[in-house]
Amino acid sequence: MISKFKVSVSRGTLNQIYSKIKGYPWDNVQKLDGWEHGTNYKYLRSLSKYWTSKFDWKKQEKKINSFSNFKTKVDEVEIHFIRERGSGKNATPLLLLHGWPGSIVEFLDIIKKLAHPERYGGKVEDSFDVITPSLPGFGFSNKLQKPLGPRKIARVLNKLMVKNLKYKNYIAQGGDWGSTICNWLGYDHSKSCKGIHVNCMMMRHPEGTKNKKEKEWEKRFKKDQVMQEGYRTIQATKPQSLGYSMIDSPVGVAAWILEKFYSWSDLKNDKIHETYSKDTLLTNIMIYLTTNTFSTASWIYFGRREEGGRFFPNDFKKIKVPTGIAKFPKEMLEWPPKTYLDRIFNIQQLSEFKKGGHFAALEQPDLLVNDLRKFLKCL
């Protein structure tokens, strides 16, 4: 059964969150400049002041509710999703997938561009039926009872598309965890998932690197990722311990998430506020807070470890469905050489852009939208 859903956070819940922000003991925090130690003190304090004085959650609720929102159960997992039917008679079903620490907020400003291209200078025949779920354990999808890794999530979302929504086939797009889920959709569910488009590469070939260029990339990658292993290891090994500390601290959740938006983005003048509006950042954070899903959202890291980690299984044969790759220069996970990618994907389109980072849909929405339309012609 599919039910209509409306985002509606009570005033009591909002007041409780704002009260904790206002009562945060700023004087007990070291006033370190810059971002090298973590989220910038001055920026976070300034944003928190805006949060409790000018930010309007009800306005953001209205924006989310301007779309058709639904909930449905798949394998005992309750999934929230936005559905925007495309203008064209034969609109291509598109599963649009976020990652961590993102949410459906990443896609709110591109959903209509994808569904109704004729309104934005495009052609109606390029329209998509856009399905944008909150990943299991994230946001408005119900909290999980146990961790699910990306391969299991792919199975859930394929059933969402085929059994619940009755699509015969579809394509999928994602970055961060969304890209990994796309990989598994293309690999395990190719009867229904007819193409994938990704702007991030998290999985690895079981045979490893083979030539000099690939080995040099691997060496650089490992060196670059040393500074990213802290949060990742915590969330992959002891996510519950982190959850205890975050459930009662809106400022703590904001600091944990904002540092990633700063570090993983192609910032203008190295200033986060020149790339993302305060309202966009806070709406994304508030989805974690108002749904109490910060803890269960981080379980996906634990779930991947249970599924075998970053590497495809030893009997991996290649993802055969057509694949589109969008490479943005400030992606925090450096892309492997094409020889490596060719052993994993059936690459039909590879686009390299001059600007943009990890959160492509927010940073460079038009580039991503146009690349998806272009990829549609490869199918």
Active-site annotation, residues:
176, 301, 358
Look at strands 170-174 and 128-133 and give their pairing: unpaired
d(CA 80, CA 65): 12
Eight-state DSSP code of residue 33: -
Q: What is 327-338 written as a DSSP string?
A: E-TB-SSPPPPH
Closest by CA position to 68, among listed 142, 114, 2, 161: 2
H-state helical runs in the chain: 11-22, 41-53, 57-65, 111-115, 150-159, 177-188, 212-225, 229-237, 239-246, 250-263, 278-291, 294-307, 338-342, 360-363, 365-376
Is 89 exposed, middle or buried, given 0-12, 13-18 or 19+ CB atoms closer than 10 A?
A: exposed
Is 122 exposed, middle or buried, given 0-12, 13-18 or 19+ CB atoms closer than 10 A?
A: middle
Closest by CA position to 362, among listed 115, 134, 142, 111: 111
The long-range contacts involving 221-228, CB below 8 angstroms and separated by at least 24 positions, are 221/333, 221/334, 221/336, 224/332, 224/334, 225/333, 228/332
Cβ pair 197, 110 in contact under 8 A: no
Cβ pair 231, 38 in contact under 8 A: no
